Structure 1
Amino acid sequence: MLANFLRNWKKRSLKDKKYESLFDEPLKDEYVCLDCETTGLSPRKDEILSIGAVIIKENKILMRKTLNIFVKPSKKIDAESIKIHHIRPIDLQNAINPKDAILELLDFIGNRPIVGYYIKFDVAMISKYTKKYIGISLPNETIEVSSMYYKTRKRSSDYEFIDLKFDTIMKELDLPELGKHDALNDAIMTSMMFLKLKDLTPAKTTFYTN
């Protein structure tokens, strides 16, 4: 009941009624997998530099339905952060402004559940912008692939360590890596994780709301 109340309250807080469709019942067996590259790890003070997303439909990754955009930062990116996200100033020459990027992303996502690796961080980053532009945080359901993977690991005790690093999960699931890590490639690889794990974990245990 509380979840429904919060959802309805969020819907009433929309600044742009065009996005009421975000609250519609999602289509069955459709998801969006996304990843963001950012200037740092603080949703409060850091910025999104790029967004990659791909649609999953009926257990297929739709490679013709992808989103790959660079976002203009408000200030010059520093050398230390480049070591983390590997996005250079030259990569941002054709970047678009944050509002256009976020609205394009919202149109791409629609009301689909969002799949990701540590997706709460990406959603928190995106929500910082959506609150500014449409008045609300992302209302979509989220699916965390590292949690799905964790549920499939057999453990001898509750205290046994499970390595949840991205590259470890890819290796353990015997999935091919797509070269350098960027937002779109990471989204596609995460989609592969999701599809391989989806049949191994009960669907009702993989969905988390914001």
Structure 2
Amino acid sequence: MSLFAWLRPALPALDDDLRLRLANLAKPSALSVLSLREQRWVVLDLETSGLNLNRDQVLSIGAVAIEDGAIDFSQQFERTLHRPAQKTTPSVLIHGLGPDALAAGCDPAGALLDLMEFIGDSPVLAFHAPFDQRMLARALKDSLGYRLQHPFFDVAELAPMLNPDTVLREASLDDWVARFGLQVDERHNASADAQVTAELALILLSQARRQQLDSPLQLNLRLQQWRRRKAHSHGL
């Protein structure tokens, strides 16, 4: 056996059904010139055992689709993953995921495959998206040997970019929810957080259209420009 074979991580063992479904997953679409209303989006939230990107685990997943410019309540996703060895930590308790819930959770490989089928070829929106993107990418690689390539948009970036006159220092999701007067009945579980993030995203997508940003491609180009200006202003 070659040295490279030893260095290459072993692929997870999957049954025939999972392998077939994995092979049939939709490929992510390139950012398009479709209008923001025409584009289907998936809003994602992950609850994790902590904030360490290399050590902590995804515990639960919540997602909802935005289609035709509105939240489609017929397209909602929720899974708690089977993590019986997960210790009870302050982070876990915040999410209300006790040992019983984690022991009764879904097989991670099946749950993550369900999620990718739900996402399809759509771009993903999340609040602090780089964290969710990296945690999800590692979970998919570990459980399915799948490489995540879907484009992610960070709602925590879109909000200040589209609202330059609003000054919120290190603004949280709760800060932006309060800024726009959104009604929140529940927080700190994946489904509820995905829902409120989707409500905030709808406001921001509407603002983007009024600012002549009417496609995912245009929105991404503006985000890149905004990041460069921000980095320049901080002397980076």
TM class by shorter chain equals 0.7 to 0.9
Task: State how far apart, in whole Å, the 2-side matches of 1:24 and 1:155 are.
Answer: 33
How do 1:124-163 and structure 2 match up within 5 A?
124-155=134-165, 162-163=169-170
Aligned-CA RMSD value: 2.5
2:28 aligned with 1:23: yes
Residue in structure 1 matched with residue 45 of structure 2 by the alignment = 35
Output the CA distance in 2 between the equivalents of 1:152 and 1:121: 21
Output aligned runs, 1:38-117, within 5 Å: 38-73=48-83, 75-117=85-127
Q: Which runs of 5+ in 1 are unaligned?
A: 1-14
TM-score (norm 2): 0.72
Residues 155, 65 of structure 1: alpha-carbon distance in 2 compared, 3 angstrom cutoff: closer
Give the 3 Å change call, closer, same or farther, for CA 163–45 of structure 1 in structure 2.
closer
What SS does structure 2 have at the residue aligned with 1:195? helix
Which moved further from structure 2: 176-185 or 111-120? 176-185
After TM superposition, give the deviation of residue 136 of structure 1 in Å: 3.8
* Counterpart-to-counterpart distance in 2, 1:192 and 1:206: 20
In 2, distance between residues paired with 1:72 and 1:121?
21
AA matched with 2:23: K
Looking at structure 2, the residues matched to 67 and 145 of structure 1 have their Cα atoms a distance apart, in angstroms, of 19
1:47-77 Cα deviation digits (max 9, x unpaired) = 1110001111011101121111100125132
Q: Which has the larger radius of gyration?
A: 2
Q: What corresponds to 2:187 in structure 1?
A: 180
Which one of 111, 116, 119 corresponds to residue 129 of structure 2?
A: 119
Q: Using the TM superposition, name which of 79-88 and 122-131 deviates more.
A: 79-88
Structure 2 unmatched runs, 5+: 1-18, 225-236
Change (3 A) 1:161 1:170: closer
> Shift of the alpha carbon at 1:120?
1.4
TM-score by length of 1: 0.80
